[in-house]
């Protein structure tokens, strides 16, 4: 990494969500929008406790608060496709990728489909075709898998989703991005989890990380927001801070990959 300047400035007072000069949804959408949506953007949104845990009692939900949920929903509103690892879909009990009426209307007014596509990443295809993820989906979901996936499970899921191979043993991030782009899905938003994020970072396809720091200490053995794939340690990926928002003591940051 290049030599860093040693200047230090104080960020406070920062604009806060939830006080009289709080950011509106329109302002938040502007902050998180990209200048040119035709260019591919791979963004991830995560939350961690101050001591670096991605979960509390096994789930990310207990780290969250209304401000974080608000940004979580607005990021979905901006996405062409929401990509989630199967571990998170199973663990967090995901349902269909269905936006609220106002968010859907906002998108339609901008000549975009009312809802983003839901793309689940799985090697095992251990996903229930009868779950709400598929049966209540407003748009036919995608299942991104490998060519070695179980053929019977693949066939069962093909009844309810487009099942696409993006690798031989695992989903390769470069192929995932190429496949989504081929489908015109350039605003790629990943909601986790740590294994998938680790793969995206390793392949260096991640352009933005939105990280909420929950003002809590988990104190236990919770995982980080990334799990390293097998292989040698990576070179550090340098990031640039785009913005830092505050809600109470919760920090909501957006970093871009400095290339």
Ligand X SMILES: NC(=O)c1ccc[n+]([C@@H]2O[C@H](COP(=O)([O-])OP(=O)(O)OC[C@H]3O[C@@H](n4cnc5c(N)ncnc54)[C@H](OP(=O)(O)O)[C@@H]3O)[C@@H](O)[C@H]2O)c1
Give the number of residues written for the chain: 259
Q: Is 214 in the site for ligand X (CB under 6 A)?
A: no
Within residues 112-131, the interface with ligand X by CB under 6 A covers: 121-124, 126
- Identify which of residues 154 and 170 has a Cβ nearer to ligand X in the complex: 170
* CA separation for the pair 108, 52 (Å, rounded): 38
Could you tell me which of 123, 121, 104, 125 has the C-alpha nearest to residue 113? 104
Angle at 175 between CA 173 and CA 178, to 5 degrees: 110
Q: Is 46 in the site for ligand X (CB under 6 A)?
A: yes
Number of residues engaging ligand X in binding (CB under 6 A): 30
Q: Is 49 in the site for ligand X (CB under 6 A)?
A: no
33: Cβ contacts below 8 Å, ≥ 6 apart: 78
- Confirm if 46 and 225 have CB atoms less than 8 A apart: yes
- Identify which of residues 17 and 143 has a Cβ nearer to ligand X in the complex: 143
- Identify which of residues 107 and 207 has a Cβ nearer to ligand X in the complex: 207
What is the C-alpha end-to-end distance of the chain, expressed in Å?
11
**Which range of residues in 18-26, 74-82, 157-165, 195-203 is near ligand X by CB under 6 A?**
195-203
Q: Given candidates 112, 170, 175, 237, which one binds ligand X under the rule CB under 6 A?
A: 170
161: Cβ contacts below 8 Å, ≥ 6 apart: 120, 129, 134, 137, 140, 141, 142, 143
Angle at 129 between CA 126 and CA 134, to 5 degrees: 115
Q: Is 154 in the site for ligand X (CB under 6 A)?
A: no
- Identify which of residues 157 and 185 has a Cβ nearer to ligand X in the complex: 157
H or E stretch covering 106: helix 101-109
Q: Is 171 in the site for ligand X (CB under 6 A)?
A: yes
**Which range of residues in 46-54, 102-110, 131-139, 233-241 is near ligand X by CB under 6 A?**
46-54
Q: Nearest distance from residue 152's CB to ligand X, in Å?
A: 15
Q: How many CB atoms lie within 10 A of CB 171?
A: 24
Q: Nearest distance from residue 17's CB to ligand X, in Å?
A: 18
Q: Given candidates 227, 239, 244, 257, which one binds ligand X under the rule CB under 6 A?
A: 227
Q: Is 70 in the site for ligand X (CB under 6 A)?
A: no
- Identify which of residues 25 and 92 has a Cβ nearer to ligand X in the complex: 92
Q: Is 141 in the site for ligand X (CB under 6 A)?
A: no
- Identify which of residues 191 and 207 has a Cβ nearer to ligand X in the complex: 191
* CA separation for the pair 137, 89 (Å, rounded): 14
Q: Is 94 in the site for ligand X (CB under 6 A)?
A: no
Bridge pairing between strands 239-247 and 250-257: antiparallel
- Confirm if 150 and 130 have CB atoms less than 8 A apart: no
Q: Is 59 in the site for ligand X (CB under 6 A)?
A: yes
Applying CB under 6 A, which residues contact ligand X?
A: 46-48, 54-55, 58-60, 85-88, 91-92, 121-124, 126, 170-171, 191-196, 199, 225, 227
């Amino acid at each position: 990494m290049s030599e860093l300047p040693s200047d230090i400035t104080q960020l406070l007072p920062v604009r806060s969500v939830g006080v009289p000069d709080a950011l509106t949804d329109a302002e938040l959408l502007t902050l998180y929008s990209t200048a040119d949506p035709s260019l591919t953007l791979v963004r991830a949104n995560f939350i961690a406790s101050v001591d670096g845990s991605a979960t509390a009692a096994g789930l990310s939900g207990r780290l969250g608060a209304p401000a974080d949920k608000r940004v979580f929903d607005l990021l979905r509103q901006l996405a062409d496709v929401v990509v989630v690892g199967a571990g998170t879909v199973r663990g967090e009990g995901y349902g269909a990728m269905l936006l609220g009426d106002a968010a859907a209307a906002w998108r339609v007014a901008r000549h975009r489909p009312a809802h983003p596509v839901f793309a689940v990443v799985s090697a095992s295809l251990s996903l229930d075709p009868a779950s709400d993820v598929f049966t209540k989906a407003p748009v036919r979901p995608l299942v991104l898998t490998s060519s070695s996936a179980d053929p019977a499970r693949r066939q069962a899921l093909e009844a309810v989703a487009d099942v696409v191979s993006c690798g031989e043993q695992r989903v390769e991030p470069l192929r995932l991005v190429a496949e989504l782009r081929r489908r015109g899905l350039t605003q790629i938003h990943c909601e986790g989890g740590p294994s998938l994020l680790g793969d995206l970072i390793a392949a260096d396809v991640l352009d933005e990380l939105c990280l909420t720091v929950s003002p809590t200490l988990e104190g236990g053995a919770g995982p980080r927001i990334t799990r390293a794939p097998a292989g040698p340690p990576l070179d550090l990926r340098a990031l640039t801070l785009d913005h830092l928002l505050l809600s109470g003591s919760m920090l909501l940051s957006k970093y871009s990959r400095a290339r």
